């Protein structure tokens, strides 16, 4: 080819790349692959060649990803060579004789299945990316590309060993077979059950790639409120197709199962886990699944909770039910994730119930069962103390369940970066084995050593172009994946990574946006449920404030009044030793700290205590004044973020800028709605004026009570 011709081809190639990346930024569909720009310090790091040591084609996906990524970042076309020479990036599995010359075999062994090494090899003047299998090398490639985009690197900093802390890093989709998504705010399900198995949506691969890029290695495709039909042969063939789309990216497929399936699908009299025919039904079903999907991951089960069937229907325990499924899965290496989200309308403190039901069963579960526990004892509230289940179950592996979809945090309308919520939870000290027994450490295998460990995130993904409904909600999917890989990672750094890859590389702009993100969750806590309040939102849809809500004949534990208990004396749920004694479920010194109103952290005060309106807070304010001021603080913070965002106009893609701006306007309107509703309503009990510094409500309580939430707007 003549030089001129090649120049023309190169120019066309760059033009295409640039127009592709501009296009990508417009609708958010390219997630954190949208920017593809180098960090300003890394321009001198252009590799001279790419060398892939790959005899049997195992690294094709990883090398394509690397080559495309590097070409895009350096706006060039990097040559592929067969021999490593000065300036190469070298991709290889660890079982290569040359790799072994440079890295200690012990170190390679310690990488396990998913770990990788990125290392500048002085002797070769090259960068090596290696891992024990193709998935690990792919993780290494994504990490290297991320580093080039997000931090200044040099050959000294390229001496990286990354091994994920959790073995199972999994998304839970609450997607129904009819295409709807429970608590989904980004359109309908991405799984097109009607079209499968013949038509395969291109989104499946994009989804797998995005997940692999942040280290996620599993997905539960369907809602925990499981339709038994997912286990019919017809649906399993559809699942098989999804599994084969996700497999190259190292994503294993799991299913939520309905405990009554043997009766509903199999025509058995019941689903009693002690009956041989029920056990056999499950064994045969599992066999059928593995014939279709040899790397199937296992089952997720919501049993005897919110109307779902379970072993207790037959006088059996959670352990009986989980073990029956675990035994069926064991020969194939499958696992059971059994949820502890259980509560009972008759119990007078819902926060205590999971612990009461599960603790007596510790020691009874098989070793391929994990108990999946929500971060807090109630239900994904803007702030909850840690669930006392963490650290308490010592013989059974417990896996945290976080919610990525914002069921209680303004759906996909509010900008709320959940990294800070996740970090607060994962770094909470359980004291199970003395100081430093953080949730991360008691669940990731550092303290209790079980054969499997895991962490789940309830997905916020739908068919919207931008995947998550709000551009910034993508950051919550992103941070979940990054923390599942390393729960001790810094969430501010992760926010910055996301901004640089998704929105902009301009340093000043990056720091302003990161600041908005970092303050956003606290702001939401403040304008919704400050000082330990919880569950004040609207009945059923969980959007907007309805602290007054009473529904004739409804379960009391679904109503706000059950939780805030406001009266003429004060407000808050007494869970102290003189109340429901939920504090007893925590290890010392947490138990005493929470129990004593004087030492209970103020952010959990009304979670654990019924506090008089005139109680003196740390800053000298009365509780009533402080409560009102907190609501105001939340509103003010949203105003601030609106101001910051308005200055981003010239730096952010126009459509993205506008869409976020519109959402922040909704958020501010609703923050004021929350503040007005709560302080006006609680004022009917405190009978005190609003303190100085609190803006006069723009709404009237009676009008707010009549306000009807329009669900259509959100689905
Ligand atoms: C999938 C809460 C949600 C339900 C959800 C349930 C659960 O109650 O509102 O939509 O059901 O949690 O986690 O099982």
Residue 48 is classified by DSSP as S
| 7 pLDDT more than 90 | no
Query: E-strand spans in 411-532?
Result: 454-458
Indicate the pLDDT class of residue 62, thresholds 50, 70 and 90.
Answer: very high
Rounded to the nearest 10 degrees, the angle between the axes of helix 507-528 and helix 623-646 is: 150
Least confident of 138-152, 333-347, 376-390: 333-347
pLDDT tops 70 at residue 291:
yes
Minimum-distance ligand 1 atom for the alpha carbon of 542? 9
Give 612: exposed, middle or buried? Use CB within 10 Å, 0-12, 13-18, 19+.
middle
How confident is residue 55, by pLDDT bands cut at 50, 70 and 90? confident
Residue of 181, 222, 303, 306 best suited for mutating to test ligand 1, as the one with most atoms within 8 Å of CB:
306
Residues annotated as catalytic are 306, 379, 407
Q: What pLDDT score does 560 carry?
A: 96
105 vs 9, residue with greater confidence: 105
Q: Between 707 and 273, whose confidence is greater?
A: 273
Ligand 1 geometric centre to CA of 633 (Å): 30
- Residue 374, H or E segment: strand 369-374
Q: Tokens 């100085």 belong to which residue?
A: 692
Question: 25-47: per-residue pLDDT in tens?
Answer: 578 999 999 999 999 999 999 99
If pLDDT is split at 50, 70 and 90, which confidence band does 710 have? low
Which tokens in the block code for residue 693? 């510094």
Question: Which residues are registered as beta bridge partners of 403?
Answer: 458
Pick the atom of ligand 1 nearest to 458's CA: 13
Nearest CA to ligand 1 atom 2: 379
Q: How does residue 5 score in pLDDT terms, banded at 50, 70 and 90?
A: low
Inform me whether the pLDDT recorded for 16 exceeds 90.
no
* 650: confidence class by pLDDT, cuts 50, 70, 90: very high
What's the pLDDT band for 416 if we cut at 50, 70, 90? very high
171, 379, 460, best to mutate for ligand 1 pocket (most atoms within 8 Å of CB)? 379
What distance in angstroms lies between residue 126's CA and the mean position of ligand 1's atoms?
50
Residue located via tokens 């407000």: 571
Whether 439 and 390 have beta carbons less than 8 Å apart is answered as: yes
* Six token digits for residue 18: 């640039």
Q: Is the distance from CB of 450 to CB of 442 less than 8 angstroms?
A: no
Percent of the chain with pLDDT over 70: 96
554 CB-side CA count, 13 A: 13
> pLDDT band at residue 344, thresholds of 50, 70 and 90?
confident
Q: Which of 171, 172, 176, 183 to mutate to test the pocket of ligand 1 (most atoms within 8 A of CB)?
A: 183
Which residue, judged by its Cα, is nearest atom 12 of ligand 1? 379
Residue 647 Cα to ligand 1 middle (Å): 38
User: Taking 70 as the threshold, does the pLDDT of residue 534 lie above it?
Assistant: yes
Is the peptide bond preceding residue 133 cis, with omega within 30 degrees of 0?
A: no
Residue 712 has pLDDT above 70, yes or no: no
Which atom of ligand 1 is least distant from the CA of 182? 10
Q: What local confidence, expressed as pLDDT, does residue 23 receive? A: 47
Residue with tokens 């899965």: 329
Pocket of ligand 1 (CB under 6 A): 174, 182-183, 223-225, 302, 306, 341, 379, 407
Statement: residue 230 has pLDDT above 70: yes
Position 143 confidence tier, pLDDT thresholds 50, 70, 90: very high
**Which residue matches tokens 């529904």?**
551
Distance 529 CA to ligand 1 centre (A): 19
**Cα angle at 526 between 183 and 636, to 5 degrees?**
115
Predicted confidence band at 715 (pLDDT cuts at 50, 70, 90)? Answer: very low
Q: Is the pLDDT of residue 324 over 50?
A: yes
Picking from 157, 191, 161, the residue whose alpha carbon sits closest to that of residue 174 is: 191
Distance between Cα 306 and ligand 1 center (Å): 8
What's the confidence (pLDDT) of residue 711?
55
Q: Is the pLDDT of residue 536 over 70?
A: yes
pLDDT value at residue 345 = 81
- Taking the CA of residue 183 as reference, the ligand 1 atom at the shortest distance is 10
Indicate whether 385 pLDDT > 50.
yes
**What's the pLDDT score for residue 11?**
47
The mean per-residue pLDDT over the stretch 594-611 comes to 98
What pLDDT shows up at residue 698? 96
pLDDT band at residue 347 under the 50/70/90 scheme:
confident
- What is the distance between the alpha carbons of residues 271 and 223, in angstroms, rounded to a whole number? 20
CA of 64 to the centre of ligand 1 (A): 40
What is the predicted pLDDT for the residue at 540? 85
Mean pLDDT of the chain: 95
Instruction: Assess whether pLDDT exceeds 50 at residue 235.
Output: yes
497 neighbors 143 (Cβ within 8 angstroms): no
What is the rounded distance in angstroms from the CA atom of residue 533 to the CA atom of residue 608?
Answer: 10
Tell me the β-bridge partners of 159. Answer: 119
**Per-residue confidence (pLDDT) for residue 4, from 0 to 100:** 52
User: 419-426 and 507-528 helices cross at what angle (nearest 10)?
Assistant: 70
- Decide if 280 contacts 236 (C-beta within 8 A): no
Strands 116-121, 159-162: parallel, antiparallel or unpaired by DSSP?
Answer: antiparallel
């Amino acid at each position: 080819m003549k030089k001129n011709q090649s120049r023309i081809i190169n120019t066309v190639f760059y033009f295409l790349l640039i127009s592709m990346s501009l296009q990508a930024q417009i609708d958010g569909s390219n997630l954190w692959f949208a920017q593809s720009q180098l960090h300003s310090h890394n321009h001198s790091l252009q590799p001279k060649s790419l060398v892939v040591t790959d005899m049997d084609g195992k690294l094709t996906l990883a090398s394509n990803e690397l080559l495309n990524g590097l070409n895009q970042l350096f706006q060039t076309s990097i040559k592929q060579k067969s021999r490593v020479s000065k300036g190469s990036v070298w991709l290889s599995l660890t079982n290569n004789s040359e790799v072994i010359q440079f890295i200690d075999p012990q170190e390679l062994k310690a990488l396990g299945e998913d770990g990788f090494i990125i290392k500048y090899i002085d002797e070769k003047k090259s960068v090596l990316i290696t891992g024990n299998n193709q998935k690990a090398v792919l993780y290494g490639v994504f990490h290297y590309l991320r580093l080039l985009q997000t931090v200044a690197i040099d050959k000294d900093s390229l001496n990286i060993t990354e091994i994920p802390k959790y073995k199972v890093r999994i998304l839970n989709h609450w997607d129904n077979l009819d295409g709807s998504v429970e608590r989904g705010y980004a359109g309908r399900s991405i799984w097109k059950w009607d079209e499968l198995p013949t038509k395969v949506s291109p989104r499946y691969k994009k989804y797998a790639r995005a997940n692999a890029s942040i280290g996620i290695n599993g997905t539960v495709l369907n809602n925990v409120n499981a339709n038994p039909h997912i286990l019919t042969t017809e649906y399993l063939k559809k699942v098989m197709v999804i599994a084969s789309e996700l497999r190259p990216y190292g994503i294993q497929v799991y299913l939520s199962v309905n405990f009554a399936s043997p009766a509903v699908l199999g025509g058995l009299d019941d689903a009693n886990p002690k009956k041989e025919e029920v056990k056999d039904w499950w064994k045969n079903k599992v066999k059928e699944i593995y014939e279709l999907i040899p790397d199937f991951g296992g089952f997720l089960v919501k049993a005897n909770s919110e109307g779902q069937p379970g072993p207790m229907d037959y006088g059996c325990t959670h352990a009986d039910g989980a073990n029956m499924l675990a035994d069926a899965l064991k020969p194939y290496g499958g696992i059971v994730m059994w949820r502890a989200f259980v509560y009972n309308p008759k119990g007078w403190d819902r926060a205590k119930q999971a612990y009461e039901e599960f603790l007596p069963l510790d020691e009874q579960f098989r070793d391929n069962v994990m108990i999946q526990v929500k971060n807090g004892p109630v239900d994904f509230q803007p702030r909850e103390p840690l669930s006392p289940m963490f650290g308490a179950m010592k013989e059974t592996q417990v896996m945290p369940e976080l919610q990525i979809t914002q069921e209680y945090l303004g759906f996909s309308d509010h900008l709320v970066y959940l990294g800070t919520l996740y970090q607060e939870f994962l770094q909470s000290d359980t004291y199970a084995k003395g100081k430093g027994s953080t949730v991360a450490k008691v669940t990731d295998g550092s303290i209790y050593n079980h054969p499997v460990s895991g962490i789940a995130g309830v997905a916020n993904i739908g068919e919207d172009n931008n995947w998550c409904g709000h551009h910034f909600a993508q950051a919550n999917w992103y941070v979940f994946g990054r923390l599942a890989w390393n729960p001790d990672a810094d969430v501010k750094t992760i926010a910055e990574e996301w901004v640089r890859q998704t929105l902009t590389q301009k340093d000043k702009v990056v720091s302003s946006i990161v600041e908005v993100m970092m303050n956003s969750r606290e702001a939401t806590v403040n304008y919704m449920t400050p000082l330990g309040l919880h569950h004040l939102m609207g009945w059923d849809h969980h959007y907007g404030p309805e602290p007054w809500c009473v529904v004739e004949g409804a379960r009391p534990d679904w109503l706000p009044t059950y939780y805030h208990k406001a009266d003429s004396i004060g407000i808050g749920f007494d869970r102290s030793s003189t109340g429901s004694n939920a504090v007893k479920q925590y290890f010392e010194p947490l138990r005493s700290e929470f129990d004593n109103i004087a030492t209970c952290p103020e952010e959990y005060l009304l979670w654990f205590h019924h506090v008089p309106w005139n109680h003196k807070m740390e800053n000298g304010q009365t509780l009533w004044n402080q409560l009102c001021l907190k609501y105001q603080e939340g509103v003010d913070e949203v105003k601030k973020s609106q101001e910051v965002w308005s200055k981003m106009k010239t730096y952010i893609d126009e459509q993205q800028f506008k869409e976020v701006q519109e959402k922040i306007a909704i958020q501010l309107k609703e923050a004021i709605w929350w503040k007005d509703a709560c302080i006006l309503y609680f004022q009917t009990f405190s009978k005190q004026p609003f303190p100085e510094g609190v803006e006069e409500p723009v709404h009237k309580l009676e009008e707010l009570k009549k306000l009807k939430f329009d669900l259509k707007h959100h689905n």
